[in-house]
Chains A and B, each alone.
Chain A
């Protein structure tokens, strides 16, 4: 049984003449919370889209949960959960209707029970029959998390998950990410440019710069290598900004 959740080899993606991702080599072990750091436009979202099979690579390959994103994308999709940045879900449907829709698309068996369990896990019960048009950004984000984990994926992709949330929302989401990792056993791959998120939730990090992975290491090793309160910020700024 492989212990590797995500493995990318020479993964590349171009948009016309622009190379968004250049030969990414990356390994994420099962059970990790991996934080992919980088400036805006560094290639973070492109990486997630390639790994979630939403985009096809122009070169290289990757496996997610043991399945190849190029040759077996359908199997990859059965094993992953995904929450894009700024997702709004369906405003004119209730939370329950939204969750039932996405749960059915994922083929969840015993859907009603699973929805109840998921909402209890997220401590978000009592809003099931309210339309999403009445929800705050933070509440929508929790529904977004719920739809992403309904089918209990082995790998969960989160793209800038705390974007636009208030401090309380950020704190709650951080705690949720850690619990999804420890209690549900999910490997989590998270895009962010917030260092505070990384230090409080991730077990390992990578830094993308202009489409290239310029750093990857466990968080503990990084903190040991660069000791000091602001060390990670300094590492990130040094590595991420060299040619920015």
Chain B
């Protein structure tokens, strides 16, 4: 336990000092802060148009934003998690592994009474703690900005839903941290180590959903999951590849938590897929052989 805590503490310290993940973190937090403002501006714009149309007597329908959950203001956050958050997590994971290979420190650590699994688990949990801190700041940012925009403090249920959203977001991102760490351990060069998890991310977030839904790539940037195709090749592909579309599953789970449409029964499958994705990626990481952890970069 002492070893695990030591590695966790060290990982947090170095993650905070690493320039590349730190830059991505600042971008991520900036986008999170902006997401509520963007949601609010969208509301204001649509409401202004609606009021004009209403005044002109062209509609009798209710304002589309009336009665909508205030959590809708953070719907853009979902897509930022899938795009910037997953990249941040992958880069942080790659850097965590590369650091020891660049500095030749793995031999120093593994020549001590430290198990390979304990060492890697400590690094993963350290990265996870750092990431949890980033997401906690994001959650507080969302809570404050929604409270300011709506002019009233967000109720405890809303606050709990934000925390649950970031909780499943943490699990989702930890899958990418693990993938990044595996790539950092197994790649022969730093460039390859960074490119491989980005390639996997692109496949999981864009290619797999396209094969199952025939969706246009741009539509996959929508925070609402694309519906599966009915019939033919795309439905067949969706049956096989659907579970791999973790980005779409994160959208579905988020949609349920942020009151934007999905039912619990549909979302529960997505929650399960995200958890399994993170567990499988962590298992692959922890199964890394000792000699691979010790291997040097070919640069």
A residues contacting B by CB (< 8 A) are 49, 52-55, 74, 77-78, 80, 82, 84, 86-93, 97, 101-102, 104-107, 147
Contact = CB atoms under 8 A, between A and B. Distances in A.
19 contacts: A52-B107, A54-B110, A54-B294, A77-B111, A77-B112, A82-B111, A84-B104, A84-B107, A86-B104, A87-B103, A90-B99, A90-B105, A92-B14, A92-B17, A101-B6, A102-B112, A104-B6, A106-B113, A107-B2
Query: SS class of chain A's interface: helix, strand, loop or mixed?
Result: loop
Task: Name the residue among B107, B110, B294 with the largest chain A CB count within 10 angstroms.
Answer: B107
A82 B107 contact: yes
B294 to A, nearest CB: 6
Contacts of B65: none
A87 B110 CA distance: 14
Nearest to A55: B291
Contacts of B69: none
A104 B112 CA distance: 10
Nearest to B102: A88
A52 B112 CA distance: 9
Interface in B104-126: 104-105, 107-114
A102 B111 CA distance: 11
B13 interface: yes
B113 A87 contact: no
Contact of A84 (B102, B108, B290): B108
Contacts of B6: 101, 104-105
A54 B112 CA distance: 10
Contacts of B2: 104, 107
B240 interface: no
A82 B3 CA distance: 18
A147 B14 CA distance: 18
A46 to B, nearest CB: 13
Contacts of A78: 113
Contacts of B10: 101
Contacts of B110: 54
Interface of B: 2-3, 6-7, 10, 13-14, 17-18, 99, 102-105, 107-114, 290-291, 294
A89 B103 contact: yes
A88 B104 contact: yes
A105 B109 contact: yes
B103 A54 contact: no
Task: Name the residue among A88, A105, A147 with the largest chain B CB count within 10 angstroms.
Answer: A105
A101 B6 CA distance: 7
Contacts of A91: 103
A90 B106 CA distance: 11
Contacts of A87: 103-105, 107-108
A52 B107 CA distance: 9
B13 A93 contact: yes
Task: Name the residue among A74, A80, A92, A97 with the largest chain B CB count within 10 angstroms.
Answer: A92
Contacts of B99: 90
A23 B207 CA distance: 53
Given A54-B107, A87-B104, A105 B112 contact: yes
Contacts of A107: 2, 113
B185 to A, nearest CB: 16
Given A77-B112, A89-B103, A93-B14, 11 more contacts: A54-B290, A74-B113, A78-B113, A82-B108, A84-B107, A84-B108, A91-B103, A93-B13, A101-B10, A105-B7, A105-B109
Task: Name the residue among A82, A86, A90, A107 with the largest chain B CB count within 10 angstroms.
Answer: A90
B108 A88 contact: no
Task: Name the residue among A77, A84, A101, A102 with the largest chain B CB count within 10 angstroms.
Answer: A101
A43 B290 CA distance: 20
A147 B108 contact: yes
B291 to A, nearest CB: 7
Nearest to B114: A105
B267 to A, nearest CB: 41
Contacts of A82: 107-108, 111
A121 to B, nearest CB: 19
Contacts of A80: 111
A53 B6 CA distance: 22
Nearest to B115: A74
B97 to A, nearest CB: 14
A102 B103 CA distance: 14
B99 to A, nearest CB: 7
Closest 7 CB pairs of A and B: A104-B6, A82-B111, A88-B103, A77-B113, A92-B17, A52-B111, A105-B112
A143 B107 CA distance: 15
Contacts of A104: 2-3, 6
B125 to A, nearest CB: 16
B298 to A, nearest CB: 15
A91 B13 CA distance: 12
Contacts of A102: 108-109, 112
A89 B104 CA distance: 7
Contacts of A93: 13-14, 17
